[in-house]
Amino acid sequence: MGNIELKYLKILAKQYPTIAAASTEIINLQAILNLPKGTEHFLTDIHGEYEQFNHVIKNASGAVRGKIDEEFGNSLSSKDKRSLATLIYYPQEKLEIVMQEEENLEDWYKITLYRLVQITKRVSSKYTRSKVRKALPPDFAYIIDELITEKAEIEDKEAYYNEIIHTIIRIDRAPEFIVALSNLIQRLVVDHLHIVGDIYDRGPGPHIIMDTLRKHHSVDVQWGNHDIVWMGAASGHLACIANVIRMSARYGNLDTLEEGYGINLIPLATFALETYADVNCDRFTIKFNTDYNTKDLSLDMKMHKAMTIIQLKLEGQLIMRRPEFGMKDRLLLDKIDYENKTVTIDGVVYEMNDTEFPTVDPNNPYDLTSEEELVMERIRQAFVSCEKLQKHVRFLFAKGSLYKVHNSNLLYHGCVPMDENGVFSKVNVYGKEYSGKALYDILDSYARKGYYSNQDIGEKLKGQDIIWYIWSGPNSPVFGKDKMATFERYFVKDKQAHVETKNSYYRLLDNEEVVKNILKEFGLDNEHSHIVNGHVPVELKKGDTPIKCGGKLLIIDGGFSKAYQGKTGIAGYTLISNSHGVRLVAHEPFESMEAAIKKESDIFQESITVETRKHRQRVADTDIGEELKESIYELEELLKAYREGLLSEKGI
């Protein structure tokens, strides 16, 4: 045994100071390896739709209802099952209705508590008692542990358990206990949550979603392009801030910034009212929802146009600063012919529908005016000093990355940039070329520098500029298009100029050789692995399918965002992977939380089995299982060292 190995074992011996302690832990870990694999839940492209997100988290894409069906079979009617499921999703809200409508509340409590205890037993059965105990709500931990754990030493078990339930009701703790059990069931049904990108933009509540995720017991995030631009904005990068504000204005979500994050937009509003008072802003309509206050429409349109022009200027400065990004084709403010109201793009002259830009100097089109500089500096200070936004973004960095390999699944939001032959594209990142996994890794590294680096200002700016490139660059893995046609969509009449061509990756999703190469690039075998992908909505209405390459690649963006549902025909896909297999769940549009409670309705439309495992998957077959096996090996080496006299037991 080498000195380094012995040194490590001495450190391990501090935690397991005796043969008995090491042996007990080996037995414990070996037993855990044989438990069923925990359920994984995959969501993507949530886009601020917090009510639908919360509902899908609560119902675990039908997994809660599945446990009810498994436990009660035909002994409960469909109506009773729906009522029980709704209670588990929304215990406090459902209890308020029951208390008003139920004639014999005591009987309802008895029946309901019995059913909830049965479901809790079922969902906790595949975990160790230690793990379940850690999840128990403190106020009721002892009682729940008694109810869900068999007591072999008690002769009249039924009387024992009935008395616990009876006492809970008698001392008026039944409502609180029902809430505690319901929340525990939600907690135990899903062992781990994956968010495959795009929490932000379009919908009204990304900040609410982020608060929920921060409280979740086990979650990871693969950054989407709409997340990364907010992360850049939080770092203080002006081009990212301009994009965030422009999109918030466009979708009528400035309240997310002002009320959700407390970011003061009065400087922008004042500037827009003065500078764009008599300027035509018809092209800057707001795509608002039913919650939008239309009294703000005129001002928001002015703010929308003002920030769009600022964004185009800032992005122009960045593109000229970073020629290696290869985005000179996006420099369009200097290609405008104001006299003829045209713009030249890629050698083609297009008619413009708006050339009324009061802050653009044709001779220096990318320079901010002094007023624009002042506005952006004040807004930048608001972003970097917003405590809530900084907490959310630090969470995204701590729990997130551009991709993740987990339990033989490769998770990423967008694509692996490649040419039409499936060869990974080489991308110049500050003078060196990267492709495939290496491209993901270097972009991830620079993004972290852009947010965290404070020692080297040059490196920080390079990182921030890379964050913007990840948002909209032509070879960005999470953008996946040849250009972001912001200028064209606002100002060019010819819709042919609006086209954004997707990376060849999206045309090769059913090519087995291409998918096999991607899996190999990220260290996965082709036989048992999957790619889980978001970003591009699956247009079910046009006959598209989320299952690609015979089930090797799964696209689970089906229109969570209301902005996409007319196009997709559904309200998003989610994915469930448990010890029995993998299934996709298609969702119907979510009406509201109130409707879900009153109508006892749910939104999982259909379930598509992607893979059924011949043998139930165990913890031993997972990434955690590999870690536990390594721990067992180390502990066995420690036992060997004790027994051979290389180490002495302590505390005996």
What average pLDDT does this structure show over 400-410? Answer: 97
Number of Cβ within a 10 Å radius of residue 556: 24
pLDDT bin (cut points 50, 70, 90) of residue 1 is low
What average pLDDT does this structure show over 344-356? Answer: 96
CA distance 198 to 228: 9
**How far lies 539's CA from each of 26, 285, 354, 543, 566, in Å?**
50, 26, 33, 7, 9
Check whether 136 has a pLDDT greater than 90.
Answer: yes
pLDDT bin (cut points 50, 70, 90) of residue 565 is low
What average pLDDT does this structure show over 47-71? Answer: 93
Residue 45 has what pLDDT?
Answer: 93
What average pLDDT does this structure show over 608-629? Answer: 92
Check whether 569 has a pLDDT greater than 60.
Answer: no
Check whether 289 has a pLDDT greater than 80.
Answer: no
Higher pLDDT, 143 or 586: 143
Among left, alpha and beta (phi > 0; psi -120 to 50; other), residue 349 is beta
Check whether 593 has a pLDDT greater than 90.
Answer: no
Phi and psi for 608 in degrees, rounded to 5?
Answer: -115, 120
Residue 544 has what pLDDT?
Answer: 75
Higher pLDDT, 525 or 333: 333
Pull the structure tokens for residue 526. 């082709």
Residue 158 has what pLDDT?
Answer: 80
Share of the chain above pLDDT 90, in %: 82
What average pLDDT does this structure show over 49-66? Answer: 92
Residue 627 has what pLDDT?
Answer: 96
pLDDT bin (cut points 50, 70, 90) of residue 564 is low
Residue 249 has what pLDDT?
Answer: 96
What average pLDDT does this structure show over 289-312? Answer: 89
Check whether 340 has a pLDDT greater than 70.
Answer: yes
Check whether 152 has a pLDDT greater than 70.
Answer: no
- Sign of the C-alpha dihedral, residues 574, 445, 520, 515? positive
Residue 155 has what pLDDT?
Answer: 66
Q: Are 249 and 303 a contacting pair, CB within 8 Å?
A: yes
What average pLDDT does the chain have?
93
Number of Cβ within a 10 Å radius of residue 600: 17
Check whether 423 has a pLDDT greater than 90.
Answer: yes
CA distance 518 to 520: 5
**Pick from 623, 634, 403: nearest CA to 534:** 403
CA distance 232 to 240: 6
What average pLDDT does this structure show over 154-160? Answer: 76
Check whether 606 has a pLDDT greater than 90.
Answer: no
